[in-house]
Chains A and B, each alone.
Chain A
Amino acid sequence: MDLSEINPVLLVASLMVAATPLLLAAIGELVVEKAGVLNLGVEGMMIVGAISGFAISVETGSPWLGFIAAAIGGAVLSLLFVLLTQFALANQVASGLALTLFGLGFSALMGQSYVGVKPPSMGEIHIPIISDIPVIGPVLFQHDPILYLGIALTAAVWAVLKYTRVGLILRAVGENHDAAHALGYKVIKIRIMAILFGGACAGLGGAYISLIRVPQWTEGMTAGVGWIALALVVFASWKPWRALLGAYLFGGITVLQLNLQAAGVAIPVEYLAMSPYIITILVLVILSADKSSAPASLGRIFHASH
Chain B
Amino acid sequence: MTTPLLSLQGLTKAYPGVVANDQVSFDIGEGEVHALLGENGAGKSTLVKMIYGLVKPDSGTMLLRGQTYAPPEPRSARADGIAMVFQHFSLFDALNVAENIALGMENPPAMGDLASRIREVSETYGLPLDPYRTVGDLSAGERQRVEIIRCLLQDPKLLIMDEPTSVLTPQEVEILFETLNKLRSEGTSILYISHKLEEIRTLCDHATILRLGKNVGECVPSETSARDMAEMMVGSTLQTPERSGREFGEVALDVTGLSVPSPSEFGTALRNVHMTVRKGEVLGIGGVAGNGQDELLGVLSGEILTTADAIKFNGQSIGKLGPTARRKLGVLTAPEERLGHAAAPDMTLTENAFLTGSVREGLESNGFLKWSETKVFAEKIIKAFDVRTPGPENAARSLSGGNLQKFVIGREVLQNPDVLVVNQPTWGVDAAAAASIRQAILDLAANGTAVICISQDLDELMEISDSFAALNEGRLSAPRLTTGLTVDEIGLMMGGAHGMEVAHV
User: Residues on A close to B: CB < 8 A?
Assistant: 165, 168-169, 171-172, 175-176, 178-180, 182-185, 291, 293, 295-296, 306
Contact = CB atoms under 8 A, between A and B. Distances in A.
Most buried by B among A178, A179, A295: A179
19 contacts: A165-B108, A168-B95, A168-B102, A171-B92, A171-B95, A172-B92, A172-B95, A175-B92, A176-B92, A176-B93, A179-B89, A180-B92, A182-B86, A183-B74, A184-B53, A184-B54, A185-B103, A291-B265, A293-B94
A184 B49 CA distance: 12
Nearest to A291: B265
A291 B99 CA distance: 19
Contacts of A184: 53-54, 73-75, 78
A183 B103 contact: yes
Contacts of A306: 49, 54-55
B90 A293 contact: no
Nearest to A178: B90
Given A306-B49, A306-B54, A183 B95 contact: no
B91 interface: yes
Given A169-B103, A183-B104, A291-B265, 10 more contacts: A171-B94, A172-B92, A172-B95, A172-B99, A175-B93, A179-B89, A182-B74, A184-B74, A184-B78, A306-B49
Nearest to B46: A306
A168 to B, nearest CB: 6
Contacts of A293: 94, 265
A295 B86 CA distance: 22
A27 B360 CA distance: 54
A54 B350 CA distance: 60
Given A182-B54, A291-B265, A296 B93 contact: yes
A183 B54 CA distance: 9
Contacts of A168: 95, 99, 102-103
Most buried by A among B54, B73, B89: B54
Nearest to B91: A179
A171 B74 CA distance: 20
Contacts of B78: 184
Interface in B65-103: 73-75, 78, 86, 89-95, 99, 102-103
A172 B55 contact: no
Nearest to B106: A184
Nearest to A184: B74
A164 to B, nearest CB: 11
Nearest to A295: B94
A115 B73 CA distance: 54
A210 to B, nearest CB: 38
A133 B62 CA distance: 72
B90 A172 contact: no
Contacts of A169: 103
Contacts of B108: 165
B131 to A, nearest CB: 14
Contact of A179 (B75, B92, B99): B92
Contacts of A183: 74, 90, 103-104
Contacts of B75: 184
Interface string B271-295: 0000000000000000000000000
Task: List 9 A-B pairs, minimum CB-CB distance, nearest first.
Answer: A184-B74, A179-B90, A175-B92, A184-B75, A182-B90, A184-B73, A176-B92, A306-B55, A175-B94
Contacts of B94: 171, 175, 293, 295-296
A180 B89 CA distance: 11
Nearest to B56: A306
Contacts of B55: 306
B261 to A, nearest CB: 13
B48 to A, nearest CB: 12
B105 to A, nearest CB: 10
A175 B95 contact: yes
Most buried by B among A182, A293, A295: A182
A172 B93 contact: no
Contacts of A185: 103
A213 B423 CA distance: 60
A69 B49 CA distance: 45
Nearest to B54: A306
Interface string B332-344: 0000000000000
B49 A176 contact: no
Contacts of B91: 176, 179
B110 to A, nearest CB: 10
A120 B430 CA distance: 74
Nearest to A304: B54
A295 B75 CA distance: 25
Most buried by A among B74, B86, B95, B103: B103
A176 B422 CA distance: 29
Contacts of B89: 179
Most buried by A among B49, B75, B94: B94
Interface string B32-58: 000000000000000001000111000
Nearest to A163: B111
Nearest to B72: A184
Nearest to A186: B73
A53 to B, nearest CB: 36
Contacts of B74: 182-184
A165 B99 CA distance: 9
Interface in B369-384: none
Contacts of B103: 168-169, 172, 180, 183, 185
Contacts of B102: 165, 168
Contacts of B92: 171-172, 175-176, 179-180
A221 B55 CA distance: 50
Nearest to A181: B54
A293 B136 CA distance: 12
Contacts of A172: 92, 95, 99, 103
Contacts of B90: 176, 178-179, 182-183
Interface in B4-61: 49, 53-55
Interface in B243-284: 265
A257 to B, nearest CB: 37
B104 to A, nearest CB: 6
A278 B189 CA distance: 62
A185 B104 CA distance: 10
A123 to B, nearest CB: 42
A169 to B, nearest CB: 7
Interface in B102-119: 102-104, 108
A293 B89 CA distance: 21
Contacts of A165: 102, 108
A70 B108 CA distance: 38
Contacts of A171: 92, 94-95
Contacts of A296: 93-94
Interface string B166-189: 000000000000000000000000
Most buried by B among A172, A178, A185: A172
A169 B95 CA distance: 11
A300 to B, nearest CB: 13
